[in-house]
Amino acid sequence: MARAKMIIMDQKEEDLIHEMSIKCLNEIGVCIHSEKVLKMMEENGAIVDYDSMIAKIPETMVNQALQSAPSQFTLYGRDSKHDIAMPIDGPPKCSTSGLAVFISDLETGEERKVTKDDLTKFIRLADALDSVGYVWTSLTLSDVPPKAHGAHELWVTLQNTTKHITSVSAQDAEDALKQIELAALVAGGKENLKKKPIFSVIVCTVAPLSFEKGAVEAHVEFAKAGIPISSMSMSLGGITSPVTIAGMISNNNTENLASLVITQIASPGAPHIYTVESTPMDLTTAGVNYSAPEFPLIANSASQMAKRYHLPCETGSFGGSDKTIGMPKSFCETSTTTLTVMSTDLVVGMGSTNNALTNSYEQLVIDAYLWDCYQAFLKNFEITEEKIALDIVKEGGPGKDFLKHKHTFDNFKKELTLWDKKKLAMQATLSDNMVPEAKAIAKDLIKNHVVPALDSEILEQGQTTLAEYDKLVLSKQ
């Protein structure tokens, strides 16, 4: 099958990124702030300095991890119609953004902290929008104990979608085990969850080349439970990695390989997703810069390295990063976002504004409508003798047209895209109607979309589990 792709590096450049990553892991190493994980690494061949908490990882460990990591697996939904076979054959699947700390109120437009009710509505809206292929837990709850917020977010999300879920926050091993316990209630037990994981998890390295204690110990527990790990590298060029594009690509790759080694040592054969969300620093604020033209170069280079290693990947970002709801104001900013998704399996970002600090219901609708149209650029198409249709050309002969030919009638719907005019209208960057229309759609879907409810006994067990967890974490404060 043919499909639009963006290839950034030639073979020599790709080889060099790999070689420099191996050299970095072997000579510089990574800092792992967990004696437990350091010991696990040492027992499997790493050279560990417990004073500096540095683990130097030889090439043999990387090769073993690459050999044991599965190249194919499935991200399951509560409803099997939402299962995602990885890697994806066709347009990527796009998810919501996360983990925003603010929500734009649907009634007032006020930007405020997030409640369970907000997350319920946001996930229910994402479930209703067909263009949303899977969901992140998306919002940071302010009305639960901070230490337990990740488990609460997963539980709310499990109740309000039948799509695959990516949990965006796990603070330590205890938190990971609680999330596994909650998902197992829905999946029918821990063994069923391991066979058909209905959620995956983002585990971020701390650039450059560091693993925080709680997150890396959670990483190990998730891997043991068969929960797919998305090892997100977020190198910020000029601050947490070299400012050069090559330096960012190399740092992202090195961190992903180190994360893969941890996954595969913890549980050989555990599903792992090569994940990057890396930008140069914003030269005016020293923050992330999702509108930088270098962003798609970094994202698609990451996809290229993932494919080298036969690993599914999550490297594209799609959605608004402006402070206002709507479309980016310039062609170049829009192009930056759309070009990141050319070569990946999974994409994130729907519904986000203000550099992912805030999520918006209206933005989620706008992004979903845009993604529904944009997938036409990423569709598969066949290049075969049958599709070339030389026999049809011969039948007509030089100078003839094909308008009335049966071949045209049989194939035009399969081959050509007819834009949805309503969804195209939503993309008019200066339209005054975009946000009001999106608000009306969001309100209607939140009110009328029905998500199959969990069994009452499962709901009761989940609420009891969370209540006990809240008491435990509050007692430790």
- Tell me, yes or no, whether 278 and 164 share the same domain: yes
- Encoding tokens for residue 435? 């946000």
Residue 472 pLDDT exceeds 70: yes
Mean pLDDT value of segment 348-367: 94
- Tell me, yes or no, whether 401 and 303 share the same domain: no
- Tell me, yes or no, whether 278 and 348 share the same domain: yes
Tens-digit pLDDT profile for residues 146-198: 999 999 999 999 999 999 999 999 999 999 999 999 999 999 999 999 999 99
pLDDT score, position 106: 96
Percent helix, percent strand, percent coil in the chain, to nearest 5: 45, 15, 35
Pairing of strands 30-32, 54-56: antiparallel
- Tell me, yes or no, whether 341 and 357 share the same domain: yes
Q: 393 lies in a domain?
A: yes
- Tell me, yes or no, whether 197 and 220 share the same domain: yes
Q: 315 lies in a domain?
A: yes
How far apart are the C-alpha atoms of 282 and 291, rounded to whole Å? 9
- Tell me, yes or no, whether 101 and 192 share the same domain: yes
pTM: 0.96
Residue 126 pLDDT exceeds 70: yes
If you average pLDDT over every residue of the chain, what do you get?
A: 95
How many Cβ atoms sit within 10 Å of the Cβ of residue 403? 7
pLDDT score, position 422: 87
pLDDT score, position 21: 98
- Tell me, yes or no, whether 122 and 266 share the same domain: yes
- Tell me, yes or no, whether 161 and 79 share the same domain: yes
How far apart are the C-alpha atoms of 200 and 458, rounded to whole Å? 20
Q: 445 lies in a domain?
A: no
pLDDT score, position 181: 98
Residue 375 pLDDT exceeds 70: yes
Residue 225 pLDDT exceeds 90: yes
Residue 461 pLDDT exceeds 90: yes
Tens-digit pLDDT profile for residues 259-314: 999 999 999 999 999 999 999 999 898 888 988 999 999 999 999 999 999 999 99
- Tell me, yes or no, whether 157 and 83 share the same domain: yes
- Given 356, 378, 400, which residue is the final one in a domain? 378
Angle at alpha carbon of residue 31, lines to 20 and 302, rounded to 5° = 40
Q: 436 lies in a domain?
A: no
- Given 394, 415, 436, which residue is the final one in a domain? 415
Mean pLDDT value of segment 103-111: 95
Residue 320 pLDDT exceeds 80: no
Q: 433 lies in a domain?
A: no
- Tell me, yes or no, whether 148 and 200 share the same domain: yes
Cis peptide bond upstream of 208, omega within 30: yes
Question: In this prediction, what percent of the chain has a pLDDT beyond 90?
Answer: 88
- Given 415, 434, 461, which residue is the final one in a domain? 415
Lowest-pLDDT range of 137-146, 314-323, 443-452: 314-323
- Angle separating helix axes 434-448 and 116-128, nearest 10 degrees: 100
Least Cα distance to 227 among 158, 176, 169, 151 occurs for 176
Q: What is the CATH number of the domain that holds 203?
A: 3.20.20.480
- Tell me, yes or no, whether 99 and 232 share the same domain: yes
Contact 363, 325 (CB under 8 A): yes
Tens-digit pLDDT profile for residues 39-81: 999 999 999 999 999 999 999 999 999 999 999 999 999 999 9
Q: 163 lies in a domain?
A: yes
pLDDT score, position 328: 75
Q: Is 60 helix (H, G, I), strand (E, B) or coil?
A: helix
pLDDT score, position 136: 98
Q: 11 lies in a domain?
A: no
pLDDT score, position 321: 67
- Tell me, yes or no, whether 281 and 342 share the same domain: yes
Q: 461 lies in a domain?
A: no
How far apart are the C-alpha atoms of 21 and 4, rounded to whole Å? 28
Domain around 397: 385-415
The total domain count for the chain is 2
pLDDT score, position 247: 98
